[in-house]
Amino acid sequence: MVALDAQNVAAAGSTPHSAYVTADGGATWTEHSTGLSGTGTAIEYEGGRIWVGGPNSTILASDDGGDSWTGQISSVPLGNMDWGTQSVGWIVAGKTQQAYTRVTTDGGATWVAAPGNPGGLVVQFVNAASGWMLWDGNGPAVWRTTNGGTNWTYASAGYSSQASTYGMFRACVDTGWVYGGAGIIRRSVNGGATWTTQNLNTARNVMDVRFINHLIGWAAGGNSSGGQPFMRRTANAGATWSSQTLPVSSSVISLWPINSSKCWGLCQNGQVIATSDAGATWSVISQLSGTGASIYMYDSLTGWVAMTSGSNSVVYRTDDGGITWTQDWSTPAGLIHSGFAPRPDNGAPWVCGDNMLIAKWVQGTGFEGGSGPGPLAGRLAVSPNPANSEATVAFQAQSPGDALLRVYDVSGRLVHESDLGEVTTSETQARLGTSSYPSGLYFCTICVGADTMKGSFLVVR
């Protein structure tokens, strides 16, 4: 369920094929057929548009209060997310140009369709402007942006089309690794223009690669049936990799080092392993039920593990370095496919998965699912989004005062400023001409006294 405003609310129905909308604060509800092949499981609202997530990651949109639904995207789970700054984050899904790519510029409060939308398996940003996206449609490839996703340029990974590609790790603006099946790992130091093959001395699948800086990192994996695990470590950016002995027989599918000595791993069978001596010795420190998905350690004591158990995803938390775990969250809404994506400002982990599942961890609360915006109080919304020649900026100030509207492009350049005069605590709307704006992502702020409301929007020609 999501509030569109004080009176209008939309909800995904437990009755198959349906969504329900109220225009009188919930006194009465009208059923609207979505055409979904099963029960709706997630719903959100953005810029006048209602989004519903259904079975098999179906996503439908309605611009007329639920009377009609368009834009079906089937079998596209939200596959990976990453943060460039504490405010700017990205989510990608799918392998084709029909894929689902979203960006937030307000710390995850709202997510909008991203420009370009190349889709992909993995996205990684090191700041608001510079990012890489791994795409595995008709052969693995890397795409790169230097302007916050307004434009993406192709940087070939140089792999054989027969090789599966599992992931990517980026150490800085120009340096990163792409890895996958058959022991493949390649490194680029020039933003993906060229790639160098590195030797892990294994033909097994590389399932995760993590570096703590541009020199020191680990690589791990196993075979396609979940066995024959291996662990490698490098101290020279992958020029050479040393083999490390593991006390397990299940593939290592996720890694998280916190310094040059301490690293944790999660096995496919739910075993958690750890080292405190740079991998000279690894120990099994705990066993969780289900199938391992990903691990994230905030520090040497606190961390999280995502597991798949039947049709549910379960997240466990540890406060003693992985010795014991308590269930922090369980959701039937969608399986978690991505690794944890900690926000740079506070380290709080986020995850995403099937059926538009987006969840964040909140201190004292645990994980909270969902990403749809709530009432306008204290924030702003731009519609239509994407915009073409004109947009409306709606906002609701926390207290009365003079309002100042500013718009910036992705480089931080101020492109518009206007004094909106004195506003009250009721919803206010301001018209914004965008006909002269080049296509791309823009950031919008409204200052009322000491309060600042932030949002983002796209201009698409």
Confidence (pLDDT) at 69: 44
User: Which among 297, 343, 294, 337 has a CA at the least distance from the CA of 320?
Assistant: 297
- The kind and range of the H/E element at 170 are strand 165-170
28-39 mean pLDDT: 43
Residue 358 lies in a domain: yes
> What is the spatial distance between Cα 61 and Cα 39, in angstroms, rounded to a whole number?
15
**Domain containing residue 244:** 80-369
User: Which of the listed residues 369, 404, 432 is the one where a domain comes to its end?
Assistant: 369
Confidence (pLDDT) at 235: 97
pTM recorded for the entire structure: 0.64
- 339 pLDDT higher than 50: yes
* Same-domain status, 221 and 241: yes
User: Which among 329, 333, 350 has a CA at the least distance from the CA of 341?
Assistant: 350
Confidence (pLDDT) at 421: 92
- 284 pLDDT higher than 90: yes
pLDDT tens, position by position, 288-318: 999 998 999 988 888 889 888 877 788 888 8
* Same-domain status, 65 and 121: no
* Same-domain status, 255 and 339: yes
* Same-domain status, 359 and 422: no
> What is the spatial distance between Cα 129 and Cα 143, in angstroms, rounded to a whole number?
14
> What is the spatial distance between Cα 11 and Cα 219, in angstroms, rounded to a whole number?
44
Residue 49 lies in a domain: yes
> What is the spatial distance between Cα 125 and Cα 132, in angstroms, rounded to a whole number?
6
In this prediction, residue 54 has a pLDDT band, given cuts at 50, 70 and 90, of: very low
* Same-domain status, 359 and 297: yes
User: Which among 212, 122, 135, 226 has a CA at the least distance from the CA of 167?
Assistant: 122
Residue 205 lies in a domain: yes
Mean pLDDT of the chain: 75
* Same-domain status, 361 and 274: yes
Backbone angles phi, psi at 434, to 5 degrees: -120, 15
User: Which of the listed residues 369, 404, 436 is the one where a domain comes to its end?
Assistant: 369
* Same-domain status, 48 and 16: yes
User: Which of the listed residues 13, 39, 72 is the one where a domain comes to its end?
Assistant: 72
Residue 374 lies in a domain: no
Residue bearing the bigger pLDDT, 459 or 339:
459
* Same-domain status, 33 and 85: no
In this prediction, residue 232 has a pLDDT band, given cuts at 50, 70 and 90, of: very high
* Same-domain status, 282 and 364: yes
User: Which among 263, 266, 264, 254 has a CA at the least distance from the CA of 339?
Assistant: 254
Residue 421 lies in a domain: yes
Confidence (pLDDT) at 441: 79
* Same-domain status, 343 and 226: yes
| Cβ atoms < 10 Å from Cβ of 285 | 16
Confidence (pLDDT) at 351: 76
How many domains would you assign to the chain? Answer: 3
Confidence (pLDDT) at 267: 96
* Same-domain status, 153 and 43: no
- The CATH number that applies at residue 257 is 2.120.10.30
Between the CA atoms of 241, 243, 246 and 248, what dihedral angle is there, to the nearest 10 degrees?
80
Residue 375 lies in a domain: no
CA angle 147, 152, 153 (to 5 degrees): 115
Work out whether strand 263-267 and strand 271-275 pair parallel, antiparallel, or are unpaired: antiparallel
* Same-domain status, 232 and 291: yes
Residue 167 lies in a domain: yes
Residue 452 lies in a domain: yes
Work out whether strand 326-331 and strand 312-318 pair parallel, antiparallel, or are unpaired: antiparallel
Confidence (pLDDT) at 261: 95
